[in-house]
Amino acid sequence: MPYKDECGICGRVLPYSYLRRCWRCGKLFCIDCMVEDITTGDAYRLLCLRCARRLVSPKIRGKYEALTRYLKFRAAFTDMVKLSFAKIDGIIGDNLPMAAYQSESWWENSREKEHARAWLDAGWEVDEVNLKEAYVIFRKTKAAASPANIRRKKFEEPRKPFTPAPSRIFKRKKPSKTKIAKLYARLKNIERQKAQPKLRGKFKPRPSHEKRTFKQDKKP
What CATH number should be reported for the domain holding residue 9?
3.30.40
Residue 128's beta-bridge partner residues? Answer: 137
Mean pLDDT, the chain, whole residue set: 79
pLDDT of residue 58: 63
Same-domain pairing of 49 and 91: no
Which helix (DSSP H) or strand (DSSP E) does residue 177 occupy?
A: helix 177-195
Same-domain pairing of 136 and 69: yes
Instruction: Outline where 7-143 has alpha helix (H).
Output: 49-56, 65-74, 85-92, 98-102, 114-120
In a domain, 87, yes or no: yes
Cα dihedral across residues 147, 150, 154, 159: positive or negative: positive
Convert the pLDDT of each residue in 144-164 to its tens digit.
544 444 445 544 555 666 666
Instruction: Outline where 18-165 has alpha helix (H).
Output: 49-56, 65-74, 85-92, 98-102, 114-120, 147-155
Same-domain pairing of 90 and 41: no
Tell me which of 140, 163, 198 is where a domain ends.
140
Burial (Cβ within 10 Å: 0-12, 13-18, ≥19) of residue 47: buried
Convert the pLDDT of each residue in 50-104 to its tens digit.
888 878 776 656 788 888 889 988 888 889 999 999 889 888 888 888 889 898 9
Tell me which of 140, 162, 186 is where a domain ends.
140
Number of domains into which the chain is organized: 2
In a domain, 37, yes or no: yes
Domain that holds residue 49: 4-56
Residue 83's beta-bridge partner residues? Answer: 136
In a domain, 130, yes or no: yes
